[in-house]
Structure formats: C-alpha cells, structure tokens
Structure 1
Amino acid sequence: MSSLIRSLAIGGLALAVVACSKSPPHPVPSGEDVQLQAWRPFAADSPWNTPIPANAVADEESDALIASFISEGALFINIDQWSVPVYYIDMAETPTREVYDHYTGVYGRGFEWPRAIPIPDDMARLNPSAGYIAIVDKNRALEWDLNQANKNANGVWMTGFGVVTSLRGSGVSAPWNEVEQPNEAASALPSGFPLSAGLIRLDEIKTGRIPHALMLASPSIRSGEFVRPASTARLQYTGMAPSETGLPLGARLQLDPDFNIESSGLSPSGKIIARALQTYGAYVGDQAGANVLFAEAGPEQLAEWQGLLKPDELAFVFSPEMMARHFRVIDMGDVLPAEPVPAQP
C-alpha cells in the first residue's frame, strides 16, 4: 500500500455519472504502428492494451462507486513521489544480486532460490518513497518487480515481495484461488498487477499517444473483494480503515468519449492522458492517500519530466464535479473474494 500525495477531500458529492458508450474518438493503431510510436509491454490482446469496446456498459454500481471515488478529491499524477521507478537494463550487462526477503518464504514467481536478480549499479542511489522498483529488460521482455525495496546498512538488497513477469504475455495472473499457492497470483502491488502496467511513460508523452490503459489508486478501495483482471487483494491497512464499499481492485474507469478534450483547458500532456482515459480507461491497482495515476519515476525519467508533466497536470480540470459528470465504471463482472488470511505481513 502506498501513502501517496494527499489532496483536499471533498465530500458529500453523490452526483450521477453520465453513461458513455460511444466509440473512442481516435483510431487505435496496432502491431507495428504501436511499436513505432512508443514501447509498450504485454501482448496486443492484453486487457492493458485493449480499447474499451464501443458497446461496453456501465456497472450497475457505477454511480455509487464514482460518488465514493470523487469524495476523495481531484485526480493527480504521482511522479517524483510515491510512484514506480523503472530501470531499463540489458540483463547481459547488469550485475546480479541475491536480494533477500523481509519476510521469510514470501516471494512470487521467478524469485525462487537460488536467486540472481539483475540490480543496476545506479539503483543504490535511490530510496523510493513507495518502496516499489521495476527493472525491465525490453529485449528479453522480462520485468523484475520489488516491493518494500531497500539496500540495508550492510549493502544487501531486501524486498518485501519480489516477482518476475514476462512482458510478452497478458500481464494478468490467474486469481489466487485458482493457483497452487496464493503467492503465484501475487505481485508487488496489492492487486497482482505488474509494476509497469498502466504507467505513463516518457516516450508516450513525447510521441503524443498512450496506447494502453492506465493504473489508478484511490483511498476509497473496497477490502475483501476484487474483480478481474486483478488476481488478488492484498491491501495493507496501515493508516487506512478496511472498507466494504468503494472501488474494488481491478475495476476499470472510463472518461466519457464525448468529453471535449480540445476545449477542456488541459495542457498538451494532459490531453494525451485524457485521450488514453477515453480509449482504454484506468484499472484500479492500489490504495492511496489521494486519487492518482502513475508516471514512471526512474532517475533518467525524472530529469526529463521537468517542464513536460506535473503532479497537478489534470487536477484543475479533473475535479470531483467534472468526474461525477464524465466518469463511469465499466461493468465489473463477477466480484471475487480476497484471500481470507493476508499472506503478506
């Protein structure tokens, strides 16, 4: 769980959200066209890379869920604080480390012993505020994710949960109750999502298009349940009370495709993000101290985000009142129970 940037909570709003079911206003390139614009992980038919269908319908709980969501305030972007540092590496040129567990025996796929995790030398300079770190080899299409990551006083790297993900697959794990061990469905995030899934990437803003769904976090997260494509719900409740209402992990929100982005007052970068929210939407993947999206936050990206993207890039347009009118939750399908006993301390 992240304790993310906080905005002023605005309560008492229970406005109905306008249903939106028209086609996305921009053509969606595929295959080679996408790769020419910006690198993206996962297969073309992954839920992360699939546009919301024109005939998609709102969930029957959509109005109540949006009312809960907007009660937490406007929509921000986590960049230099509480986001996900991404290190792009060549595994053949990156030293490997053992990386020890904070919690004995608690780890995910690919972190079995003996363990050799590629750790770039410059990673030691970073102490991520959320404890998340993603290490990505684009050529091998592999991602190593760490949660509660830190280098201790003895120079040893530690993690609360580590997992390796193939970026050629769907980016979606089987639910925890359909695998042999629940940890096989888990990830560094409480939803089971890979850390790279749904990030706003520097190259996407530079090329003018985000060809995938985004990842969203909010304080108003339902505990004890999740929906697909999440594979688990491992919320840690430090500072936040468990809730039987609110958005479940895995829910998909959409900005009304009829919302006029060009006359919205958004910056060029804000418009790129808004178009992604119309076409692909955003999946709920974490609990947070505010309503937030996430931008990749490695040292190289942070240096280039200056003047290109700000944490409040969307906040003045994506107010609670605006989101009440122009956001909906897509039909969630079956609601699944979370693990009865938290597997991650």
Structure 2
Amino acid sequence: MLRQIFPAVALLGAALMTGCAQTGQIPPTALTVPASAAPGWRPFSADSPWNTRIPADAKIDPKSDVLVADLGVGGDLYVNMPEWSVMVKYFDSSKAPKRAVRALYPGRYGPGFEPGERVPLPADALPEDATPAQSNYFTLVDPVRNLAWDTRQLGKTLQGDWFAGFGAAVDLSGTGVSMPWMKAERSDLSAGARPSGIPLMAGLIRVEEVKAGRIDHALAFAYPLAQTGKFLPPASTALGAADAASERHLGLPMGARIQLNPDYDIDNTLLSPSAKVVARALQEYGAILVDEAGATVLFAESGPEQLAAWEGVLAPGDLQALFTAEFIALNFHVIDTGEPMAGIPRKVK
C-alpha cells in the first residue's frame, strides 16, 4: 500500500528534503519543547476542516451510493501500521541541528525546503533499520511550536548527506489547508508529501488519543480507485496519472469526505474498545481521502516509539470484525462538499 519506487539517484545522491504541504508561514518563536506531544494536543486550528464535526444536516453527495460501492474493491478496512503509514518523530526543533536536505527531483521542493534552506534534523531522525515501507512518509513534529517538517522518501547517502523525494514545512497551528495549486506562486508551494497536498499529521490515529478514549478529528484514508486529475479542499492538488491510459475519471477525488452512518449502534458490536474509539470518529468527523493505496486503509502514527505503545492497544486488523467491504458499502456515505477542481495538467508538471 502506498508503495513508492526510489529512483536510482536516491542511491547516489547528496541530499535535501523537498516540497510538501504548507498551511501558513512558520512563526519565528523558538521555545523549549518536550520530546512528545502533551495530553490533549491536537494539530491544526479549531476551525480546521480536520477538527470540525460533520453537521447533522450535512448534504449527501447524489452519487454517494455508487462512490461508496467502489470502496469495497479495497476489501475490509485496515489500519496501516507499521508500514505504509507515517513515521512520526516528536522533537524539540530549537535544539536540533539544521541540515541541508537535497531534492531527489530537481526543482521539486515545498515551502521551507527551498535551495539553501536548512531543516532542523536530528542525526538519529531515521532508525538505522528503517525500511522504505516504514519511512516513505516521515514527519518531524515540534508540538510546542506547532511546527512539522513533512518528507517523502527521506534518506541518507553513504557519505552522510540527507535527501528526500519531497519536503515541506507545515504550520500546525493553521487550518491544515493550503491554497489550491493554481493560486500559488509556484505549484509546489501547495504540494505535499502526499499526492493530495494534505499534511502528514492530518487525520492520523494517534496513540494518546485512543488511550484517552476519544478522537476529536477527521481521519485520513486511502483506497485503490481514487479519481485522478480532480480534488476538493482540504486537498490542494490531485492524484496524478502517468499517462492517458492510467487516468481514472470515476471514483472519489482527493479531499473527498466519507462518513459512517451516525445512527449505527457501535456499542453493540464485537469491536474492541480501541476500535470503537476509531469508529466513533468515523461517525462524528468522518474520513478524508488523502492518498491512493492498494486497499481501503486508515493511517496510524508509526514511529518506533508509537509502534511500541500500540502493543495491546490497537492492531492493524482490529476494525475488520465489523468493517467488511459489504458493511462499508451499506453504512457509509459521501458528504457533498462541492464541485471538484482540476489538478495540475501533466504538461505543466
């Protein structure tokens, strides 16, 4: 799921993380921060679409039944961890050394990763034994300053130089929504590690909130048949297609929001207590499409520290006791959030 192929230059290159999603200018404040997020911490502002409940009178997309039926192609609902999710490292950015992180793809970089910029990056940011499937999406998060540095394909050469397929600094005190690509001075200013342009912390299932018994935000999800070339806010870019033959004109566009029927009785199910916490978030906030994957999946924070903490709390298959492909088709709907916008034409890229 979310499999990315490393180009040959990744094995040879010197290194700088490039372009991801931006949600505002990074404030200059330099504070001493704890190594992990404090209880109750939540990224993005209260008015962010990620932190806004779906109203009881929300309009349902007229094509909802057809669109939701497509989700069944991805099989039962799965929580991506430890692979093909987001490796999160909480840190104190004011104490971290700043390093150059080079772009694997010339000219492709997001805000905060421009040529000459240096990124706060601990020497041990990536575990030495991390596989590409574990670290494909990696974010450094300073929860006190509310800043993050998102990357895709972050790595280090044998010479010790850092590189990334894409990188962007994110203001976690903002809405989590970048301007659409066509309104940006440079399209990569609205891009992100994910093809949707949505920040990596958006929609992650986090250990501390599941342990606390409540998730107060929308969840991020992906599935195999996402529409290419179209997107809806909070996405700022669309899923691309390599050529005309691989374009998909049907399916949900990046940024689409789905919701579990809020009247469904979650308590009287065989779900574990932690899985019920996730299910209630799907009823109250829904899930927003952020990526394409080989199955229908949600995403849990998957840094080494979080994976250890997930033991006995939530496992990848815990939702499958209820969320089968058939259940999803019958009990989810698509929220109508307007007319999709066009993604970047291939010739512009």
- Secondary structure of 1:83's counterpart equals coil
In structure 2, the residue matched to 1:205 is: 210
Correspondence list, 1:313-332, <5 A: 313-332=318-337
Uncovered stretches (5+) of structure 1, i.e. residues with no partner: 5-34
TM-score scaled by length of structure 2: 0.86
Amino acid at match of 1:201: R
- Secondary structure of 1:199's counterpart equals coil
Amino acid at match of 1:194: P
Query: Which deviations, in whole Å up to 9, do the C-alpha atoms of 1:262-293 show, x marking residues without a partner?
Result: 11110011000000000000000000010000
In structure 1, the residue matched to 2:108 is: 106
Q: In structure 1, how many angstroms separate the alpha carbons of the residues matched to 2:74 and 2:211?
A: 30
In structure 1, the residue matched to 2:54 is: 52
Across the two proteins, how many residue pairs are aligned to each other? 313
In structure 1, the residue matched to 2:29 is: none
Equivalent pair of 1:101/1:158 in contact (CA under 8 Å): yes
Amino acid at match of 1:99: V
Amino acid at match of 1:123: A
- Secondary structure of 2:178's counterpart equals coil
Q: In structure 1, how many angstroms separate the alpha carbons of the residues matched to 2:67 and 2:284?
A: 20
In structure 1, the residue matched to 2:271 is: 266
Q: In structure 2, how many angstroms separate the alpha carbons of the residues matched to 1:243 and 1:76?
A: 23
TM-score scaled by length of structure 1: 0.87
Amino acid at match of 1:98: A
Amino acid at match of 1:211: D
Q: Does 1:3 align with 2:3?
A: yes
Find runs of 4+ consecutive structure 1 residues off by over 3 angstroms. 234-238
In structure 1, the residue matched to 2:232 is: 227
Equivalent pair of 1:235/1:287 in contact (CA under 8 Å): no
Correspondence list, 1:1-345, <5 A: 2-3=2-3, 38-125=40-127, 126-129=130-133, 131-235=136-240, 241-341=246-346
Query: Which deviations, in whole Å up to 9, do the C-alpha atoms of 1:136-176 show, x marking residues without a partner?
Result: 11111111000121112222111111100101100000101
Deviation for aligned residue 1:135: 0.5
Q: In structure 1, how many angstroms separate the alpha carbons of the residues matched to 2:296 and 2:217?
A: 19
- Secondary structure of 1:114's counterpart equals coil
Q: In structure 1, how many angstroms separate the alpha carbons of the residues matched to 2:250 and 2:121?
A: 40
Residue 37 to residue 91, structure 1, CA distance change in 2 (3 Å): closer
Amino acid at match of 1:311: P
Identity %: 47
Deviation for aligned residue 1:37: 5.5
Equivalent pair of 1:84/1:294 in contact (CA under 8 Å): yes
Uncovered stretches (5+) of structure 2, i.e. residues with no partner: 5-36
Amino acid at match of 2:111: R
Deviation for aligned residue 1:132: 0.8
Q: In structure 2, how many angstroms separate the alpha carbons of the residues matched to 1:48 and 1:231?
A: 14
Residue 52 to residue 342, structure 1, CA distance change in 2 (3 Å): farther
Deviation for aligned residue 1:237: 5.5
In structure 2, the residue matched to 1:11 is: none
* Farther off after superposition, 114-123 or 93-102: 114-123
Equivalent pair of 1:69/1:247 in contact (CA under 8 Å): no
